[in-house]
Amino acid sequence: MVALTWIRGLLAHRRSRLLATAAGVAVGVALIASIGTFLSATTSKMTQRAIARVPVDWQVEGQGTVIPAHLLNQVKRYPGIREALPVGFADTTGLSATTGSTVQSTGPGKVLGVPSGYRAAFPGMLRSLSGRTSGVLLAQQTAANLHAKPGTRVKIGRPGLPPASVRVAGVVDLPAADSLFQRVGAPVGAQPQAPPDNVILLPSRVFSRVEGPLARAGSVRTQIHVKLSHSLPGSPSAAFSQVSGEARNLETRLAGSGLVGDNLGSALDQARSDALYAQILFLFLGLPGAVIAGLVTASIASAGADRRRRDAALLRTRGASTRTLVRVALGETALAALLGIAPGLGIALLIGQAAFGTASFGAGAAAAVFWAGGAALAGFAIAAAAIALPAWRDARALTVAGQRREVGRTTGGPWWARYGLDFVALAIAGFVYWQASRNGYQLVLAPEGVPQVSVNWYALLAPVFAWIGAGLLAYRLADLALVRGRGPLGRLVRPLAGELSPTVAATMGRQRRLLARTVTLVALTAAFAASTAVFNSTYRAQAEVDARLSNGADVTATESPGANVGPGASARLVGVPGVKSVEPLQHRFAYIGADLQDLYGVRPQTIGSAGQLQNSWFLGGSASQLMDTLARKPSSVLVSAETVKDFQLHPGDLLRLRLQNSRSKQFMTVPFHYVGVAKEFPTAPKDSFFVANAGYVAKQTGSDAVGSFLIQTDGTSPATVAQRVRGVVGTGAQVTDIVNQRKIVGSNLTAVELSGLTKVELGFALALAAAASGLALGLSFAERRRTFAIARALGAKARQLGGFVWSESAFVTGVGLVLGAAMAVGISEMLVKVLTGVFDPPPDVLSVPWGYLAGLLALVLAAVAAAGAATLHALRRPAIEELRDL
Q: Which is nearer to other proteins, 540 or 786 (CB)?
A: 786
For residues 59 and 388, what is the distance between their CA atoms, to the nearest angstrom? 62
Q: How far is the CB of 509 from other proteins (least distance, A)?
A: 8
Q: Which is nearer to other proteins, 277 or 788 (CB)?
A: 788
Inter-residue contact 125 to 118 (CB < 8 Å): yes
End-to-end, the C-alpha distance of the chain in Å comes to 25
Q: How far is the CB of 851 from other proteins (least distance, A)?
A: 40
Q: Which is nearer to other proteins, 275 or 508 (CB)?
A: 508
For residues 849 and 872, what is the distance between their CA atoms, to the nearest angstrom? 35
Q: How far is the CB of 807 from other proteins (least distance, A)?
A: 12
Residue 589, strand partner residues: 598
For residues 506 and 490, what is the distance between their CA atoms, to the nearest angstrom? 8
Q: How far is the CB of 770 from other proteins (least distance, A)?
A: 26
Residues in touch with other proteins (CB under 8 A): 405, 407-409, 499-500, 502-503, 506-508, 510-511, 787, 790-791, 793-797, 800, 878-881, 883
Q: What string of H, E and C letters represents the secondary structure of 173-220?
A: ECCCHHHHCCCCCCCCCCCCCCCCCCEEEEEHHHHHHHHHHHHCCCCE
The secondary structure of residue 148, as a DSSP letter, is -
797-836 exposure pattern, b = at least 16 Cβ within 10 A, e = fewer: eeebbbbbbbbbbbbbbebbbbbbebbbbbbbbbbbbbbb
Q: How far is the CB of 523 from other proteins (least distance, A)?
A: 23
For residues 876 and 801, what is the distance between their CA atoms, to the nearest angstrom? 10
For residues 886 and 880, what is the distance between their CA atoms, to the nearest angstrom? 10
For residues 165 and 158, what is the distance between their CA atoms, to the nearest angstrom? 11
The closest alpha carbon to 227, from 89, 51, 68, belongs to 51
Contacts of 499 (CB under 8 A, 6+ apart): none
Sort 190 into a burial class: Cβ within 10 Å, 0-12 / 13-18 / 19+: exposed
Q: How far is the CB of 405 from other proteins (least distance, A)?
A: 6
Q: How far is the CB of 512 from other proteins (least distance, A)?
A: 10
Q: How far is the CB of 810 from other proteins (least distance, A)?
A: 17
Q: How far is the CB of 326 from other proteins (least distance, A)?
A: 25
Q: Which is nearer to other proteins, 207 or 804 (CB)?
A: 804
Inter-residue contact 80 to 228 (CB < 8 Å): yes
CA distances from 861 to 33, 589, 767 (A): 29, 59, 13
Q: Which is nearer to other proteins, 499 or 664 (CB)?
A: 499
Q: Which is nearer to other proteins, 411 or 439 (CB)?
A: 411
Q: Which is nearer to other proteins, 168 or 789 (CB)?
A: 789
Q: How far is the CB of 410 from other proteins (least distance, A)?
A: 11
For residues 648 and 410, what is the distance between their CA atoms, to the nearest angstrom? 63
For residues 422 and 475, what is the distance between their CA atoms, to the nearest angstrom? 9
- The strand order across the sheet containing 258-262 reads 127-131, 170-173, 137-139, 199-203, 109-114, 81-92, 220-228, 58-62, 258-262
Q: For the residues of 36-104, what is the DSSP string, one character each?
A: HHHHHHHHHHHHHHHHHT-S-SEEEEE-TT--HHHHHHHHHHSTTEEEEEEEEEEEES-EEEEETTEEE
Q: Phi-psi region for residue 832, left (φ > 0), alpha (ψ -120 to 50) or beta?
A: alpha
For residues 648 and 548, what is the distance between their CA atoms, to the nearest angstrom? 31
Q: How far is the CB of 471 from other proteins (least distance, A)?
A: 25
User: Is the N-terminal amide bond of 841 cis, ω within 30° of 0?
Assistant: yes
Q: How far is the CB of 867 from other proteins (least distance, A)?
A: 19
Please give the single-letter amino acid code of residue 802.
Answer: G
Inter-residue contact 453 to 444 (CB < 8 Å): yes
Q: How far is the CB of 287 from other proteins (least distance, A)?
A: 36
